[in-house]
Amino acid sequence: MGDAKIRVDAVMDEIERDVRARLRRHLIKKGGAADYQDEELFDAVHAVLARAVDGRNLDAMLLPEMADGDVDWRLQTHLSLTTHRPGAVGRFILFAKQKILLPLTRWLFEYSQENFRRQDHLNRILFACIEELAIENSRLRKELQRR
């Protein structure tokens, strides 16, 4: 190899090509989609999904904005203790929730919270995939109309 300059992007292209080939063989072997026999098609599918998983800002997507109607669909990982009762009774209930109930159930809340966070992340990736497919579809439609 000597002192010849190595370009990281060239090495990474090679590695990523190799990883895609390994992944395709693995999926075919495990009974994945028959379409993956076509290497070119597999690479195209990989590229679309990779754009969604790696390339998208998961905090800026169209679908979650559109789904943000009357029903709050987002996972609530923040714990907010409230009561509908007014005055001293309300204050007492809130105090009891915070100082007695919460310490007793905290472990359960914290255990579930981590899983909720994971699910929330997965939801956002799925939104990104759907959006990426919609973009791809719209692009193709536009191109077809132009022809």
Q: Which is nearer to other proteins, 122 or 140 (CB)?
A: 122
Rounded Cα distance between 32 and 25, Å, is 10
- The pattern of x and - marking residues 105 through 134 that bind other proteins according to CB under 8 A reads ---------------x--------------
Nearer to other proteins, 3 or 143 (CB): 3
Smallest distance, Å, CB 124 to other proteins?
11
Sequence-ordered alpha helix ranges (H) in the chain:
8-29, 39-50, 62-67, 87-96, 102-146
Smaller CB separation from other proteins, 5 or 146: 5
Contacts of 83 (CB under 8 A, 6+ apart): 90, 93, 94, 97
Instruction: Choose, by CB under 8 A, the member of 15, 33, 44, 126 that binds other proteins.
Output: 15
Token pair 């472990």: residue: 107
Residue 57: both structure tokens together: 């800002």
Q: Select 5 or 84, whichever has its Cβ closest to other proteins.
A: 5
Mark residues 59-88: x for contact with other proteins by CB under 8 A, - for none: x--------------xxxxxxx--------
Query: What does the CA dihedral 96, 101, 104, 105 come to, rounded to 10 degrees?
Result: -150
Q: Which residue's entry shows tokens 């992340």?
A: 121
Handedness of CA 27, 32, 33, 37 (dihedral sign): positive
Cβ proximity to other proteins, 18 vs 38, nearer residue: 18
Residues 21-50 that bind other proteins (CB under 8 A): 22-23
CB of 138 to other proteins, least distance (A): 26
